[in-house]
Structure 1
């Protein structure tokens, strides 16, 4: 019997991670755990029952927590101090490597993991305002997204956590677009980027052998009816009514791509063809206020959106036509902004 997935929600302002069970199409709250201020990104090793969370107090650190799948309890077992707060964490190489990106520090790193303990960094890269880092499923290539420099830095990643730049070492995003989060399609031949300032999704073709990305089509994914304007570094999107792109994920066997925009509080559904090419926006879901982060469940149908300004998450289901049907709203804590499944 397949275990029902757990949904973990990071409530950054409250310093907590809420654990909910996705049971028969409904979110059932289990426990909200106090883990430390600034827990705005975490990575889940479901096979080992471990969670790696970034925190900011008393000093920036990565903490390792055990996850009790029955009760939702998280218990700290290790802590590794780091120079600056992290904006993104991801696991690779079957949970033996942890990669992180520091927005305010302007650096990214790779750390080895031994029995849940994060070791000394084996590699470090430096680009302005790094917002995301991912690897391909095999952990052979790593991609760091720099909002400040407007690019994706691409590397070969070895089993020991060392990085070697690819050729070319970077691939540009459109000038002034504000590249933010990146994901790969399951076949490994496509990468999708959401931009913060222009509210676009960009597809990059990926060479599976070399790992090199090449820019392809671009599509706007914000609400065109509410008069949002192009944003820029250092602007206040709320005060100036600016585009504020945030997160993206694939759904329904990669037939659709979902992307969130915070000023309009929407999640757009983009249709993909059989080759992964971007089609048109087929639906726009008005959801929780300021949807900074969200996640799509392992079934590819259930989607959980965190409203950074609402203190709650919304559960919806992606219908066959790409529209999202709202199902439930659950309050989780102050400043929810990160969603992952276990």
Structure 2
């Protein structure tokens, strides 16, 4: 049993498929498939070998592809136009619903998915400024919408019919001006972790049985010795040498949290305690340029990092103590900004 890693190359409008060689460890690119214009996010339905990929353009859309596991190729099946391009996609209720966040559209939407995997018309839509991420929990019962512009995580119940109902309270606050961006849940879904774009912090939220999130901690996850200043909406992070937090994922069976920062192009490693709290970073590594997205492989010991201004992806080892070591770099294409893996 091995893994495939899919990487979206927005600049080329392609997806590269890599096979993971665990003995190396190393990556081998086995396929390059054309996808929709500027594809910057996708989600994999491993049960049906389907890939749902967002596309920009006029009009923007969501394309559905069949994944051929042996070759790694994507075969186009269908396309559904949407009002505004999606920044993040997640599946819910056994793949019968697709949830998306649109940064430019300032909204999150729920779409039905039919038996063939075709994306249907929206069943629900909610407005949140600069919605950047959607996360699904509780076997699809709960959906979280991360609003970068609103400094909140909106909380909803999601029915099998695709109806969104606000929880009580309807939002969990983030620190003012922090710019919450991406959210991940731990294995038992008792904690959620959010990466902020403007303050470069990991926020920790406790999650109870009702789905409610309560902020319990925050810790910097950027290289504080490199002269970075706090950013704000509309600022140019490169010109101003500003914090530009991006993605985060759990590794090492949830004992390590990884976070990327794009201005200085670093990947950080932070320890996660038994009570779910997050400690100060224990390791930083320079990585591919502008690491917008990355994924952690199934064993939790390796990460594949993509760079918006790079043509390579980096394969990084995550030590038991959280120490990060780059193993190698592999050609992928222009504008690589998203990665996900599937066990085959």
TM-score range, shorter chain: over 0.9
- 2: CA distance, partners of 1:220 / 1:194: 10
Matched with 1:148 is 149
The runs of at least 4 aligned residues of structure 1 exceeding 6 Å deviation read none
- Displacement of 1:57 after TM fit? 2.9
- 2: CA distance, partners of 1:94 / 1:282: 37
- 2: CA distance, partners of 1:50 / 1:323: 35
Encode CA deviations 1:178-215: one digit per residue, 9 max, x unaligned: 010001111111000000000000000001x2100000
- Stretches of structure 2 that go unaligned for 5 or more consecutive residues are none
- 2: CA distance, partners of 1:328 / 1:44: 25
Matched with 1:116 is 117
Instruction: List aligned pairs for 1:152-163, cutoff 5 A.
Output: 152-163=153-164
CA contact (8 A) 2:296 2:302 kept: yes
- Displacement of 1:276 after TM fit? 1.2
User: Residues 333 and 237 of structure 1: is their aligned pair in 2 closer, same or farther, counting only changes over 3 Å?
Assistant: same
- Displacement of 1:23 after TM fit? 1.4
Verify: 1:14 aligned to 2:12, yes or no: yes
- Displacement of 1:58 after TM fit? 4.5
CA contact (8 A) 1:92 1:137 kept: no
- Displacement of 1:288 after TM fit? 0.7
Q: Secondary structure at the match of 1:161?
A: coil
Matched with 1:269 is 269
CA contact (8 A) 2:220 2:280 kept: no
Matched with 2:139 is 138
- Stretches of structure 1 that go unaligned for 5 or more consecutive residues are none
Verify: 1:212 aligned to 2:212, yes or no: yes
Instruction: List aligned pairs for 1:79-98, cutoff 5 A.
Output: 79-98=79-98
Provide the aligned length of Structure 1 versus Structure 2: 339
- Give the alignment's TM-score, normalised by structure 1: 0.98
CA contact (8 A) 2:317 2:327 kept: yes
Verify: 1:172 aligned to 2:170, yes or no: no
- 2: CA distance, partners of 1:201 / 1:106: 23
- 1: CA distance, partners of 2:317 / 2:173: 34
Q: Secondary structure at the match of 1:120?
A: strand
RMSD between aligned alpha carbons?
0.8
Q: Secondary structure at the match of 2:121?
A: coil
Matched with 1:306 is 306
Matched with 2:246 is 246
Verify: 1:294 aligned to 2:294, yes or no: yes
- Displacement of 1:14 after TM fit? 1.0
